[in-house]
A and B are shown apart, each in its own frame.
Chain A
Amino acid sequence: MAAKKETYTYTEAMKRLEAIVAKIEGNELDIDELGEKLKEAQKLIKFCRDKLYKTDLEIQKMLGEEENG
């Protein structure tokens, strides 16, 4: 499960975050799930933050190719 590489877009990540928040708000989460969801939320938040604040080398490379070629 943990080995599975998760790929999603920023928008998808935000949707998942929102869903988690909504579940917490709605008191729909078992305590069993809470820890797991917290872990997932933190992962999503990091992913989103990275998108905002860290240069994505792949995009940079793509744009570099654009300018050179």
Chain B
Amino acid sequence: MVNDSLFLVELNALVRRSIRACFPDTYWVQAELSDVRVNSSGHCYLEFVQKDAGGNSLVAKARGIVWANTFFRLKPYFERETGQAFVSGIKVLVKVTVDFHELYGYSLTVTDIDPTYTLGDMARRRREILDRLQREGVLTLNKELELPELLQRIAVISSPTAAGYDDFCNQLSHNAFGFVFYPCLFPAVMQGDKVEQSVISALDRIYGELERWDAVVIIRGGGATSDLSGFDTYNLAANCAQFPLPVITGIGHERDDTVIDMVAHTRVKTPTAAAEFLVNHLRQTAERLEDFACYIRQEVPSRLSHEKERLDNWQARIPSKVQMRLQKEGFAQERLSERLRVALRVRLQTEKHRLELWSRQIEAASPDRLLKRGYSLTLKNGKAVTDASRLHPGDEVETRLAKGTFRSIVKK
């Protein structure tokens, strides 16, 4: 029996040869990364895993190796293309050779990677998160918030050591217009698997003193694009979307927006751009104010001068009005006096005619004319005597002739 037996190393060597014979090519494999470690020589050791449909239990697992000379090239390429660190938990499409080693056993050696697969997976995950937020009716809540006109008190979530935070503060404090800003740092981890929890806790601290802030700015250093996966989580996105202050993100990447960018009120690319956005917002506020100021400065005096003109105008019109009025009165007067004149003349004429008539009649009736024709007038006691029976002998009468009078005694 012992003679028929193999030493382990011999058996393992057989397995190795068989595997090599059976799997001579390279293979593209879809799997999830787990337990990713890089040793001091730069070799990367990891586990490839596959979970069941529910994502709860493993259905397959294999050791994987990326040799330093490959890893040195693949890692930056992958991270640049995906904006995603080469870390546990992500799904990858890798080209592998299938190996078996007498001592280390079964393993897959990675020779290439296809970042588009990971991008696709990330995009799918983002889409799922966004769909869920949409279903819950919170997706656009933050976008619907109105930026306060006077947006100055800014709660900044950033890593305190990040160059991006300094850039942001410099840009704000040296703005060309002299606007005042009050930025305040709420430190958070902005990289790796602590991002979600750390940023949420910073948001919670801001939430605790909401009335002190106008907006939240989440910024992340300007360095190399690496791990953004922390910004692609449901919890963080849900927190941001429902945050009662407008959230502005400047997470510093060019590629796809992370979920947090998509739910934020405003998304810019870099911390500097975030500062520019805030300065620009205040500039609009200032412009509106200056428009008002300018309008009032011009309009009030112009309104006053317009009023003065009106007044002057009236004043100028008063004399001519008066003159017109006087003239009118004058005409009326003239007309009236003319009428008066005419009426008087007519009246006088009439009177004159009448007087003449009368005087002629009177003249005709006058005793003088009779006296001249030889008649005489006899008066007794100053009264004309027209009846001789009224006279008695001895009465003294006066007889008036055309010229002179004489007295006589009645005889009979």
Contact = CB atoms under 8 A, between A and B. Distances in A.
A34 B184 contact: no
Size class of B's contact patch? 20 to 34
B292 A18 contact: yes
A11 B184 contact: no
B149 A14 contact: yes
Nearest to A67: B184
B300 A45 contact: no
Contact of A14 (B180, B282, B289): B289
Contacts of B184: 63, 66-67
Interface in B284-310: 285-286, 288-289, 292-293, 295-296, 299-300, 303-304, 307
Given A11-B150, A14-B149, A52 B303 contact: no
A14 B296 contact: no
A60 B152 CA distance: 12
Contact of B300 (A10, A38, A54, A67): A38
B289 A48 contact: yes
A29 B155 CA distance: 43
A29 B302 CA distance: 13
A52 B182 contact: no
A37 B296 CA distance: 10
Contact of A31 (B288, B292, B304): B304
Nearest to A41: B296
Nearest to B285: A52
A37 B301 CA distance: 12
Interface in A5-50: 9-11, 14, 17-18, 20-21, 24-25, 29, 31, 34, 37-38, 41-42, 45, 48-49
Interface string B160-193: 0000000000000000001110101000000000
Contacts of A42: 296
Contacts of B178: 53
A54 B152 CA distance: 11
B126 to A, nearest CB: 34
Nearest to A9: B150
A14 B291 CA distance: 11
B282 A52 contact: yes
A3 interface: no
Contacts of B89: none
Contact of A52 (B212, B289, B292, B295): B289
Nearest to B283: A52
B125 interface: no
Contacts of B330: none
A21 B149 contact: no
A45 B289 contact: yes
Contacts of A29: 303
A9 to B, nearest CB: 8
Nearest to A54: B180
A21 B296 contact: yes
Nearest to B178: A53
A38 B289 contact: no
A68 interface: no
Contact of B296 (A38, A54, A59): A38
Given A14-B289, A17-B292, A52-B289, A59 B149 contact: no
B153 A59 contact: yes
A48 B304 CA distance: 25
B177 to A, nearest CB: 8
Contacts of B300: 24, 34, 37-38, 41
Contacts of A48: 289
A49 B289 contact: yes
Interface of B: 148-150, 152-153, 178-180, 182, 184, 212, 282, 285-286, 288-289, 292-293, 295-296, 299-300, 303-304, 307
7 nearest interchain CB pairs?
A10-B150, A45-B293, A38-B300, A41-B296, A17-B292, A48-B289, A55-B180
14 contacts: A9-B150, A10-B149, A11-B148, A11-B149, A34-B300, A49-B289, A52-B150, A52-B180, A53-B178, A54-B180, A59-B152, A59-B182, A62-B212, A63-B182
Given A14-B292, A21-B299, A51-B180, 9 more contacts: A20-B296, A24-B299, A34-B303, A41-B296, A41-B300, A45-B293, A52-B150, A53-B178, A59-B152
